[in-house]
Structures are given as structure tokens and as C-alpha cells.
Amino acid sequence: SQQGEEDPQALSIQEGENATMNCSYKTSINNLQWYRQNSGRGLVHLILIRSNEREKHSGRLRVTLDTSKKSSSLLITASRAADTASYFCATDANDYKLSFGAGTTVTVRA
């Protein structure tokens, strides 16, 4: 079953704008990870945030985690055409399995 749910399902933005997507989950977690998928094939790991962390940065990516609300957000700043992809959150609920949401499809218009 899918624990994470991303919102919105789809997002269309202009190049240079910021993109924000959210993830909600149901059970307590060890960590939460964000992945990117291009063209429906292999996923690329973007960032991992542990349950005792509140914010993490990696390049143009900023992830926040609010364990009291069981939610996370991914912000992509200064978007580029190459950021067009589907983005998935995945939760590690204290075992080795990752539970993935259905994803947010981001389209960056030139």
C-alpha cells in the first residue's frame, strides 16, 4: 500500500519560477526520501531527510519535514526545462521497505 501522497498531482510552471510539492504520510518514519523520474523509467535519488531533521538543502533543492503534521515539502528553485519530471516521496517507516506515493508531475515551460 502507498503511504506517501503527493500534492499536487501535476504542476506547470515557467522556467525560472520555483516549484513546490508536498507529501503527506500516515505512520512514523525513520527517514523520508525524494526521487525524480524522467520519462517513466529509472528513479534518481535526490535527497534524504531523517526524522530528527527539519530542513535540508542540496543545490537548488530544499526539503522540509514536519513530523508532527506527517508532511514534507520539496522546493525546486529557479526551475529549468531539465527539471521536467515526476517527483516521488518515499518513506522509510523503520524497516528497509520504501513506500512511494503516486508522484507529482512537473512541467517546466520555456
Smallest separation (angstroms) from other proteins to the CB of 90: 8
Cβ 88 vs Cβ 37: under 8 Å: yes
Beta strand pairing call for 10-14 and 104-109 = parallel
Q: Which of 11, 103, 106, 108 binds other proteins (CB under 8 A)?
A: 103
48 binds other proteins per the rule CB under 8 A: yes
Give the binding range for other proteins (CB under 8 A) out of 12-20, 39-47, 54-62, 63-71: 39-47
42 binds other proteins per the rule CB under 8 A: yes
33 binds other proteins per the rule CB under 8 A: yes
What is the 3 state secondary structure string of 3-55?
A: CCEEECCEEEEECCCCEEEEEECCCCCCEEEEEEECCCCCEEEEEEEECCCCE
Interacting residue ranges for other proteins, rule: CB under 8 A: 2, 4, 30-31, 33, 35, 40-45, 48, 88, 90, 92, 96-103
